[in-house]
Every structure is written in C-alpha cells, then in structure tokens.
Amino acid sequence: MKNLLYIGNNLNNKRSNVSSIVVLGPMLEAEGFNVRYASSYSNKVWRFMDMLKSCIKYRNWADAVIIDTYSTQNFYYALAVSQLCRLLNITYIPSLNGGNLPVRLEKNPGLCRLIFRTAYKLVSPSVYLQEAFKYHGYTNVTYIPNSLELDAYKYVVKAFNHPKLLWVRSFSKIYNPTLAVKVLKVLQEDGIQAELCMVGPDSDGSLTTVQDLAKAYNVSVNFTGKLPKTDWVALAADYNIFINTTNFDNMPVSVIEAMALGLPIVSTEVGGIPFLIDHETDGLLVPANDALAMANAIKRIINSPVASQAMAFNARKKVELFAWKVVKHQWFEVLQ
C-alpha cells in the first residue's frame, strides 16, 4: 500500500491542537508513501463533505484509507466515511484516537460494528483501547503508539525548589482544565510558592471559565494561548512538573512529550493513562477531579527530588520506544 488517503481533522487554527493526521501523515510521506488528505476546512459541514468527496475522487488511486476515529461528534465522520469506503470497495483502516471510544462500544454497538467489523485492520495508539476493543470481540487491533521525533525533545534533569507547573492541552470540558487552577490554589494556601502555566487553544469556551476561576481564587496563571510545538517545548525548560487533569483520555501526545523532556508527570488515572504511566515508577497517578490528591502528589515530587528525578529518567527511557525510528516499522507491517 503506497498510495494513502488520510481522513481526519487536518486543521491549523487557533481553536485546535495538532492532531494525529498532521503528525503521522508527513512521517509516512518521508518514508516514501504518497499521502493525500481530507480535510482542512474549518467549517464542519464543508469538512465532512470534503472527506466524502475525497473518497470518491481518489477511489481508484488509493490503496487504503486511514480514518482518524474519535469518540465524540467526529465519530460520525468516521462512520460515514467507512460506509462510503465499503460501498466503493476501498480498504480502510480506522486509527483509534478517542479516549472515550469504550463508551461508544457500550452505547452504540450497532454503529461501531458498521465501522469496525469490515475494517482491514484497526490501529490503536494505546493498550487501553486495544484491550477494550478485544473485550467487545474485535481481534484485528494492532497497537502502534503515538510517536515523536525524539531528537526534538532534549531531556533535562529538573530541580525542585518549588513547583512550576506546566499544563498543555486544549481548553475543553473533557480535559477538566479548572482542576489545574484548583490545584494551584491548594498549594498556595499551604504556603507553597507554586506557579502555573497553561498552554493551549480554547476549544469550547472553557478558557473563559478557567480565567474567571483564577480571578475568583486570586491566583496568577500564565495563559499563553496556542503555541507552536517548538515554542512550548522551549517553554518547558522553565518548568519542573507536568500536570494532566483530564477526565477522559487515551494516549495523549502532550504527556508523552513531557516524559521525553524530563518533566515528572502527575496525572489523573483515567482511560489509557494507567497503561502509559506506571504509578511511582515513571509518574504519579491520582483520582480524577481531586485537587487535594493532585496537590499532595506535587508536594511529594518537590519533597523527594532524587526519587522524582528517577521517575523522570524512567519515563524518558519508556518513551524512547515511541520514537518514529522504532514505530515506523509497525506501520510498515500494517500497510504492507
């Protein structure tokens, strides 16, 4: 399979973070694959129509269609595209990106069967989703982790004089960004000189909610807005703990990147996170939406610097297995 049509949200606007299609597509191109994309339209209707139109346009050219498959509204893009591929007799491969897809499997088994039963293969970036799909009878699931160009992430050994917290995600309710502000408030009330920087675009209006909460709590938060990857990676050098506050998750690239940079991770133990982070070995996990538990984990990091540096080192060694030079061979096997 050399000619690939990649269907996903190929967006580059201030309301969206970089998605899988933007990362994986160019990597495959660099390996000699011919890749065409749909869609980059910001308007959802136009984007949806362009996805369908591209399947028809390239039906005789494409050896396979890769479909980024999410668990929320974009699930229906994948549903429609997969059925059109079936009609046109095109091989298609869903790339499972939605952290809440197990709920879809439970609530919409019929729609899920339409997408996944006739797929050539399913690709999951996490063992979490691989196991969830196998539980529901889908045996053609290949685990290929989200990858990164490791050379772009310089590992830095951190000092822990006081917590300088970094949060990187889109401002969306499912990622629970208000928890970060609540954690900062708890730390400062305990007399700890903590700082917080939040990086990411406003996806659903949550940014205003978070900013209002910071004002109500009288805490100072550095909101940078959306930053290019190179900029936030450079910014990370000034911080010493990465917090992930989400209520739903799969295999978040931002967490993998933080692990590569040497930032100790404190994350909620939801979705695929426990499959990525081994508690107390390469990060700390806490219950969802528990500001006190997350604040206590952060205190543990700053009070045990040697153990924290060891966790960060273990995390870096783990994500070295996610380097593209390793992961690309797994994609080659799927696309052979």
DSSP string spanning 192-243? Answer: ---EEEEE--BSSSHHHHHHHHHHHHT---EEEES--HHHHHHHGGG--EEE
Does the pTM surpass 0.85? The reply is yes
User: What pLDDT does residue 276 have?
Assistant: 95
Which residue, of 126, 143, 160, is where some domain finishes? Answer: 143
List, in sequence order, every residue forming a beta bridge with 279; answer none if it has no partner: 283
If asked whether residues 128 and 252 sit together in one domain, one would say no
Amino acid at 310: A
Could you tell me the two tokens for 289?
């939406």
* In a shared domain, residues 156 and 284: yes
Q: How many domains does the chain have?
A: 2
| 201 shares a domain with 94 | no
- Average pLDDT of 81-89? 98
Task: Name the token pair of 272.
Answer: 């695929």
Q: Where does the pLDDT of residue 19 fall: very low under 50, low under 70, confident under 90, or very high at 90 and above? A: confident
DSSP secondary structure letters along 32-77: T-EEEEE---SSHHHHHHHHHHHHHHTTTT-SEEEEEE-SSTTHHH
Question: Is residue 84 domain-shared with residue 196, that is, in the same domain?
Answer: no
> Same domain for 224 and 171?
yes
The residue out of 119, 143, 167 marking a domain boundary is: 143
Give dist(CA 325, CA 322) in Å, integer: 8
Q: Mean of the pLDDT values across residues 185-190?
A: 98
Residue 16 has pLDDT above 60, yes or no: no
- CA 310, 315, 318, 320 torsion-angle sign: negative
Packing angle, helices 206-217 and 178-189, rounded to 10: 10
Crossing angle (nearest 10°) for helices 44-57 and 75-88:
20
Residues 102 and 158 in one domain: no
Residues in the chain: 336
126 and 178 together in one domain: no
- 166 has which bridge partners? 197, 242
Q: Which domain holds residue 40?
A: 3-143
**Structure confidence at residue 14 (pLDDT):** 59
Contacts of 299 (CB under 8 A, 6+ apart): 187, 190, 192
d(CA 324, CA 23): 11
CATH number at residue 297: 3.40.50.2000
pLDDT band with cut points at 50, 70 and 90 for residue 288 = very high
Long-range contacts from 104-110, C-beta under 8 angstroms, 24+ separation: 104/71, 104/75, 105/132, 105/133, 105/136, 109/136
How far out from the chain centre does Cα 295 lie? 23
- What pLDDT, in 10s, does the model give residues 26-83? 999 999 999 999 999 989 999 999 999 999 999 999 999 999 999 888 899 999 999 9
Q: Are residues 69 and 132 in the same domain?
A: yes
Do 117 and 220 share a structural domain? no
Are residue 131 and residue 174 in the same domain, yes or no?
no
